[in-house]
Amino acid sequence: MRKIFILALTLILAFVSCSYSQEIKIGACIYRFNDAFMLRFRNAMQAESEKSGAKISIADGQDDQNTQDAQIDEFIANGVNVLIVNPVDRMSSQPIIDKAKQANIPVVFINREPAPEMLNSYEKAYYVGANAEESGTQAGQLIADYFKAHPEADKNHDGKIQFIMLRGQNGHQDMILRSKYSVEAIKAAGYEPVEIAGAIANWDKLEAMNIMNAFLMSIGPENIEAVIANNDEMALGAVEALKNNDYNKGDANAYIPVVGVDANASALEAMDKGEMLGTVLNDADNQGISAVRLALALAEGKDLNSIGYTITDNKYIWIPYQKVTRGEK
């Protein structure tokens, strides 16, 4: 009896220690926790790691590259098997790649795309994201479609669309390309876009609200025909400012179409209430899941074709965007 007990105990201990030694440790860095979209991304990574039996630690870079660099050093010192990094400054990714290479651990960048030459400097450096041009095009199409369906939206009847652009953080690929391609899509639909005012609101709702308040005061809502925001938080800030001016509260004569990107729950709610025209799904779930699966496959030396997502150019996973509207408004 005793012998069997000891044998069973030994087996259990062996099993436990063996599964422990196989547990992969992921060190993940987020540019800033206080970001609605990155919260969705984080939750998806956390859930996928739990599902896969991996241990993920996620650090808040607090929008400071030095803070994030120190967090990366600490992850490496603590022996993580792989890094997932959402860089504060995507153009400062080279030192991060160099550190990962030095430690011989893979690094998967997310949401903020390092330059190709940076990624190419290390065979175990990858990027998971969504094609920013696509989201810009789709946001512009939402505005153009609205003008097709509502000729009266051209308030001054000049055949042009006088719009306000609210931009994300400077240098972010999503800020650059969404701004550019939303305007291109409006042109492609046969309208002449005219940016009557624009500003950087750093992806932030409050900043966008203050900026929009100032624009409403100086320009007048009757002279604004559309608001294009690089993300939902800024779109919602604009909606808040409009509502304070008795716009976008259900009266068709006091309405300015506002579009964002992300499809965060709060934006979908605003769309349901008719306060916001539309958004573009930035698929945090699939980006988060694929980033974790890729990280684990790299850490375990597994076949990358087994993770259920296509890897392009041996470096990239691209998750598609998708237009979201709430029927005819």
Rounded-to-integer distance, Cα 85 and Cα 288, Å: 12
Interface with ligand BGC includes 283 (CB under 6 A)? Answer: no
Out of 24, 30, 35, 275, point to the residue binding ligand BGC (CB under 6 A): 35
Out of 28, 38, 45, 85, point to the residue binding ligand BGC (CB under 6 A): 38
Find out whether 41 and 284 touch, Cβ atoms under 8 Å.
yes
Cβ nearer to ligand BGC, comparing 109 with 247: 109
Question: How far is C-alpha 263 from the chain's CA centre?
Answer: 10
Out of 75, 127, 163, 203, point to the residue binding ligand BGC (CB under 6 A): 203
Interface with Ca ion includes 156 (CB under 5 A)? Answer: yes
Among 79, 87, 75, 77, residue whose Cα is nearest residue 119 = 87
Out of 128, 209, 261, 291, point to the residue binding ligand BGC (CB under 6 A): 261
Out of 32, 160, 180, 329, point to the residue binding Ca ion (CB under 5 A): 160
Stretch that binds ligand BGC, among 31-39, 101-109, 118-126, 186-194 (CB under 6 A): 31-39
Rounded-to-integer distance, Cα 56 and Cα 45, Å: 8
DSSP-derived letter for residue 307 is S
Out of 23, 98, 152, 158, point to the residue binding Ca ion (CB under 5 A): 158
Q: Around 285, how many Cα atoms within 13 Å sit in the side-chain half-sphere?
A: 3
Residues 6+ away with beta carbon under 8 Å from 100: 76, 83, 106, 107, 122, 124, 125
Q: Mask: binding to ligand BGC, 105-124, rule CB under 6 A, as x and -? A: ------xx------------
Interacting residues toward ligand BGC by CB under 6 A: 31, 35, 37-38, 111-112, 172, 174, 203, 231, 233, 261-262, 282
